[in-house]
């Protein structure tokens, strides 16, 4: 509480002065936080009820797009797939700090607080106006938020100033209580209204729940061309070994979307544009009515480190992209298809890969027997065997533009990643895990190896610097998927290093030379250290 040296004669002690200063800063901070909360609540509520983009999400997405590749790599390395949570927490902390500064500035250097609030709102407005799919209406939530925020800032600051004036030595007695109550009441009401706005906004924007309901109601047709059944011999079911088909809930997820895009399947359509004789548009219902293929394809992220887990294998249901391209009839000279997601992400895929009759590039609607999960691209995504995801696996895809590599670039190319991204031959030890202790004797070592669209012919394991020993291979289902392997090791006491390497179906042996994931995929051999007791 603010102590007033009433009567003027009293000299406050040093401690009183410090306390007074701290509590008046706190009051200024409260004024700023009220203004910040009112701004956010207004913007969230409007964004939610109008289905416009949330300005905070827009700023976060803009930061993701603008982040230098180095920052992104560090954040992903530190927080893994929690990179988005990290960004949201960071934005929250920054917004809180800015609000506090707005309050302090407004009371000490009026109108700098208002000015700072307007600058921040302007940035949010720019971000909202430039996101993929933005319209003129997209600026409504941040602009309305800023107006309400400014009004609250001025009103709260005025009440605080009045209260403070009543505490001045020369102020008439008896007014302080009233002024104090007025400030506290205003603060309480604004805080309650803001919290209510944020909660309602959060509930209404549960657009995800609406899209989920649509998704659950979808009945996928039976494939005209089913995937081969997975024989027991393809899935070794060894403890600690990744299952041959990775369940949807465990499948790795990588994308630039801060909030999972929610697309209404009934309104979805895909357009094939650009260097084509015949522009094609296809709706979700039309896509489902086509003879669909089911294929087992392993998807890999170019950011996969040696031994990493940004890889997964699933049974995809979809329509061959080459058939749709054939309808559109690409013109001479085209060599790339730029696929665009509803969220603005793009990937550049070689046209000839998508047209290849021997490669089942799919416009996929199903994953392991389910409609695509929202995070994996509902309602429709691309899946291309043999290419890293960043150049091929566009989720929430809405346009295929036939073009050239000379004219167009996918999202990651100007950010330091190669225009072409064929998957590199690699292998991984899943069990035992690195650093673990095992008992001497029989130890089952197992893992996966992959060279999508080429196939694996051999996997070898080496103990310390000993000779390379052949591992047993699980049954090969398709060259487009990974292959499990196992090796029975007679472990002897001491510390040992186990290293794996694979050979592809062309006889290419996995290189031991280490390469970073950037710019077009890691190389090197996965090794683990095990303590044998």
Ligand X SMILES: Nc1nc2c(c(=O)[nH]1)N[C@H]1C(S)=C(S)[C@@H](COP(=O)(O)O)O[C@H]1N2
Question: What does the binding site for ligand X look like in residue numbers (CB under 6 A)?
Answer: 251-257, 299, 301, 341, 343, 345, 376, 389-390, 393-396
The C-alpha angle 120, 124, 128, rounded to 5 degrees, equals: 170
Q: How far is CA 308 from each of CA 74, 96, 205, 418, 430, rounded to the nearest angstrom?
A: 15, 36, 35, 20, 10
Output 411 or 485, the one with its CB closest to Mo ion: 411
83 binds, among Mo ion, ligand X, none (CB under 5 to 8 A by kind): none
Q: How far is the CB of 52 from ligand X (least distance, A)?
A: 20
Which residue lies nearest Mo ion, judged by its C-beta?
301
Output 52 or 301, the one with its CB closest to Mo ion: 301
67 binds, among Mo ion, ligand X, none (CB under 5 to 8 A by kind): none
Q: How far is the CB of 345 from ligand X (least distance, A)?
A: 3
Find out whether 348 and 340 touch, Cβ atoms under 8 Å: no
In angstroms, the CA 486 to CA 529 distance is: 17
Output 255 or 399, the one with its CB closest to ligand X: 255
Strands 336-341 and 346-350: antiparallel
Q: How far is the CB of 299 from ligand X (least distance, A)?
A: 6
User: Roughly how many angstroms between the first and final C-alpha of the chain, as a whole number?
Assistant: 65
Q: How far is the CB of 405 from Mo ion (least distance, A)?
A: 19
In angstroms, the CA 322 to CA 504 distance is: 26
For the chain, the residue count is 533
**DSSP assignment of 44-86, as one string?**
HHHHHHHTPPPHHHHHHHHHHHHS-HHHHHHHHHHHGGGHHHH
Output 33 or 257, the one with its CB closest to ligand X: 257
Q: How far is the CB of 314 from Mo ion (least distance, A)?
A: 15
Q: How far is the CB of 239 from ligand X (least distance, A)?
A: 25
Output 61 or 106, the one with its CB closest to Mo ion: 61
341 binds, among ligand X, Mo ion, none (CB under 5 to 8 A by kind): ligand X
Helix, strand or coil, per DSSP, at residue 197: helix
Find out whether 149 and 114 touch, Cβ atoms under 8 Å: no
380 binds, among ligand X, Mo ion, none (CB under 5 to 8 A by kind): none
256 binds, among Mo ion, ligand X, none (CB under 5 to 8 A by kind): ligand X
Q: How far is the CB of 317 from ligand X (least distance, A)?
A: 14
Find out whether 381 and 364 touch, Cβ atoms under 8 Å: yes
Q: Which of 489, 456, 526 is nearest to 238 (CA)?
A: 489
Output 159 or 295, the one with its CB closest to ligand X: 295
183 binds, among Mo ion, ligand X, none (CB under 5 to 8 A by kind): none
Residues that bind Mo ion (CB under 5 A): 254, 301, 389-390
Output 72 or 322, the one with its CB closest to ligand X: 72
In angstroms, the CA 484 to CA 500 distance is: 12
In angstroms, the CA 296 to CA 313 distance is: 7
129 binds, among Mo ion, ligand X, none (CB under 5 to 8 A by kind): none
């Amino acid at each position: 509480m603010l102590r007033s040296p009433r009567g003027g004669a009293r000299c406050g002690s040093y401690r009183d002065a410090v306390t007074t200063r701290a509590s008046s800063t706190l009051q200024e901070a409260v004024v700023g936080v009220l203004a910040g909360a009112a701004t956010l609540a207004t913007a969230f509520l409007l964004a939610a009820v109008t289905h416009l983009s949330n300005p905070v999400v827009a700023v976060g997405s803009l930061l993701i797009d603008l982040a230098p590749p180095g920052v992104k790599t560090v954040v992903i390395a530190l927080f893994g797939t929690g990179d988005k949570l990290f960004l949201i927490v960071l934005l929250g902390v920054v917004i809180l700090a800015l609000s506090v500064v707005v309050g302090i500035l407004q009371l000490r250097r009026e109108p700098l607080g208002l000015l700072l609030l307007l600058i921040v709102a302007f940035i949010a407005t720019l971000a909202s106006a430039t996101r993929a799919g933005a319209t003129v209406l997209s600026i409504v939530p941040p602009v309305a938020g800023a107006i309400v925020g400014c009004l609250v800032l001025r009103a709260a600051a005025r009440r605080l100033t009045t209260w403070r004036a009543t505490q001045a030595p020369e102020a008439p007695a008896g007014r302080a209580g009233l002024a104090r109550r007025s400030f506290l009441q205003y603060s309480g009401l604004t805080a309650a209204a803001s919290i209510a706005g944020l909660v309602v906004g959060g509930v209404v924007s549960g657009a995800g729940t609406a899209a989920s309901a649509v998704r659950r109601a979808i009945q996928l047709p039976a494939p005209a061309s089913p995937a081969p059944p997975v024989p027991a011999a393809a899935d070794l079911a060894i403890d600690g070994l990744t299952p041959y088909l990775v369940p949807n809930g465990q499948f790795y997820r990588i994308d630039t979307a801060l909030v999972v895009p929610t697309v209404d399947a009934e309104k979805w359509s895909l357009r094939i544009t650009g260097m084509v004789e015949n522009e094609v548009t296809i709706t979700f219902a039309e896509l489902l009515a086509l003879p669909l293929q089911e294929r087992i394809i392993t998807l890999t992220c170019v950011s996969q480190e040696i031994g990493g887990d940004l890889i997964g294998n699933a049974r995809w249901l979809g329509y061959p992209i080459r058939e749709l391209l054939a309808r559109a009839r690409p013109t001479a000279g085209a060599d790339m298809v730029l696929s665009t997601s509803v969220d603005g992400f793009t990937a550049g895929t070689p046209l000839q890969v998508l047209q290849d009759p021997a490669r089942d590039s799919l416009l996929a609607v199903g994953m392991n027997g389910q409609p695509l999960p929202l995070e994996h691209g509902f309602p429709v995504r691309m899946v291309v065997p043999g290419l890293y995801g960043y150049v091929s696996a566009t989720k929430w895809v809405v346009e295929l533009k036939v073009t050239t590599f000379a004219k167009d670039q996918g999202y990651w190319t100007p950010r330091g990643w190669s225009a072409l991204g064929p998957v590199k031959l690699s292998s991984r030890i899943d069990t035992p895990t690195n650093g673990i202790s095992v008992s001497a004797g029989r130890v089952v070592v197992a893992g996966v190896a992959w060279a999508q669209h080429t196939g694996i012919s051999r996997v070898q394991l080496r103990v310390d610097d000993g000779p390379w020993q052949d591992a047993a291979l699980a049954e090969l289902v398709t060259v487009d998927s990974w292959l499990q392997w196992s090796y029975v090791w007679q472990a002897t006491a001491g510390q040992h290093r186990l290293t794996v390497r694979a050979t592809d179906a062309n006889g290419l042996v996995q290189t031991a030379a280490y390469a970073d994931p950037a710019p077009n995929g890691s190389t090197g051999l996965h090794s683990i250290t095990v303590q044998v007791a």
